[in-house]
């Protein structure tokens, strides 16, 4: 209820976030003008928040109750959101935004969409191009086993429409940090996975430092979801803590006390400290990004699964110039590699220091190496 207008309004999220009526042509025109305003000023693109929520069914019918609801699922899953999400008209809006973006040349539209893969693919476009990248969030909660990851990757690749470019997301302000979920050692392996898969990678601030579990005292909780449903483990504050830049007061983030506390180990885990440590998580990310930038196969090449057995995941990236192999140990025990190395194979980057290639992967280790010759096998 809004006192100023004497009217009720709909909000899918916080009351401070009223939903717009995207069925109103004037609303669409006004919001298109907002995009145009920023495109004119040179922005590279937009991340469109909860794109699949934008349009509601005509007449605003009630969503049905979820017959499988359990209290521990949280309040948002009490209803099946069949009338308030994923409406056909949202694709018209995405197509109009895409037409506008394309008129400015090299621009990018990313859609935040949490839907099954087969439905997610529709947001690349239905009849007309949609957003360039419908966010692919599968890595955020994927079972950390080789066969599960391989199956997910292959299914996603197979579902992509012709000409669609893939993307992978490893961190989000709405999800537990990867280092908190897997531990810091496997977070290094996850970084290698993210930055060697085919497609555009998205990582979340702080993941490149390996920020893991963060203590949020009860009196510092800010997340409305956690405040409304305390004790259910639904809070997202632990993923939203300030970026620790250095060892100074407030980790160099602000002269004032930040909205949320810093990660517990911020005096040691910060950007400045990791810049000076060649074995740090930040150093690994930089090595992987450099490797990706310098390798045509990693940048734009095809994907081919080599092995997915137990805790070992191996795949190739290749083009007509080179073939690069990635081998990942997803466990805390050593694993024998099921292939022989060409003596001239060249190590590009590893999660841990290594002078030579061998037939074993150490615990929690990943390696990227170039096979010799065009499309070498």
Degrees, nearest 5: CA angle 278-280-281: 135
User: What phi and psi, each to the nearest 5 degrees, are found at residue 2?
Assistant: -110, 115
Q: 123 Cβ partners below 8 Å, 6+ apart? A: 51, 52, 91, 94, 111, 113, 130, 131, 134
Q: Which alpha helices (DSSP H) does the chain contain, by range?
A: 25-40, 89-102, 117-120, 146-159, 178-182, 184-194, 224-228, 271-275, 281-294, 296-300
267: its two tokens:
């005096």
- Antiparallel, parallel or unpaired: β 108-111 and 133-134: parallel
Look up 49 and say whether it is catalytic. yes
57: its two tokens:
């069914």
d(CA 197, CA 264): 32
CB 189 within 8 A of CB 366: yes
Tell me which of 29, 44, 49, 75 is the catalytic residue. Answer: 49
Look up 320 and say whether it is catalytic. no
- 296-316: burial string, b at 16+ Cβ within 10 Å, e else: ebbeebebeebebeebbbbbb
d(CA 150, CA 314): 9
Question: What is the full DSSP assignment across 191-222?
Answer: HHHHTTSSSEEE--TTGGGT-------GGG--
User: What phi and psi, each to the nearest 5 degrees, are found at residue 238?
Assistant: -65, -20
Assign residue 372 a region (left: φ > 0; alpha: ψ between -120 and 50; beta: otherwise): beta
Q: Show contacts of 102-105: CB within 8 Å, 24+ apart.
A: 102/129, 104/39
Residue entry with tokens 């991340």: 47
Residues serving a catalytic function are 49, 112
């Amino acid at each position: 209820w809004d006192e100023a207008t004497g009217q009720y309004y709909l909000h899918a999220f916080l009351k401070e976030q009223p939903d717009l009526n995207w069925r109103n042509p004037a609303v669409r025109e006004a919001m298109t003008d907002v995009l145009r305003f920023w495109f004119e000023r040179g922005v590279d693109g937009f991340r469109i928040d909860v794109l699949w929520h934008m349009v509601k069914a005509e007449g605003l019918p009630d969503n049905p109750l979820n017959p499988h609801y359990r209290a521990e699922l949280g309040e948002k899953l009490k209803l099946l959101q069949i009338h308030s999400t994923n409406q056909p008209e949202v694709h018209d809006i995405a197509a109009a935004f895409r037409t506008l973006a394309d008129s400015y040349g090299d621009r990018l539209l990313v859609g935040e969409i949490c839907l099954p893969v087969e439905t997610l693919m529709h947001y690349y476009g239905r009849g007309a191009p949609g957003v360039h990248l419908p966010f692919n969030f599968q890595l955020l909660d994927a079972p950390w086993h080789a066969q599960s990851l391989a199956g997910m990757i292959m299914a996603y690749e197979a579902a992509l429409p012709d000409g669609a470019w893939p993307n992978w997301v490893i961190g989000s302000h709405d999800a537990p940090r990867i280092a908190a979920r897997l531990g810091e050692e496997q977070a290094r392996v996850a970084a290698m996975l993210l930055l060697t898969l085919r497609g555009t990678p998205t990582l979340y601030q702080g993941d490149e430092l390996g920020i893991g579990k963060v203590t949020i005292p009860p009196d510092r909780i800010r997340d409305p979801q956690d405040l409304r449903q305390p004790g259910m483990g639904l809070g997202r504050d632990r993923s939203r803590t300030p970026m620790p830049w250095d060892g100074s007061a407030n980790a160099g983030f602000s002269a004032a006390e930040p909205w949320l506390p810093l990660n517990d180990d911020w005096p040691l885990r910060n950007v400045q400290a990791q810049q000076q440590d060649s074995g740090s998580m930040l150093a690994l990310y930089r090595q992987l990004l450099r490797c990706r930038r310098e390798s045509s196969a990693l940048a734009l090449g095809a994907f081919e699964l080599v092995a997915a057995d137990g805790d070992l995941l191996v795949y190739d990236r290749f083009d007509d110039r080179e073939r690069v192999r990635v081998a990942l140990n997803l466990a805390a025990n050593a694993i024998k590699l099921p292939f022989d190395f060409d003596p001239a194979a060249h190590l590009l980057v590893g999660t841990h220091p290594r002078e030579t290639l061998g037939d074993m992967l150490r615990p929690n280790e990943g390696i990227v190496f170039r096979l010799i010759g065009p499309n070498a096998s």
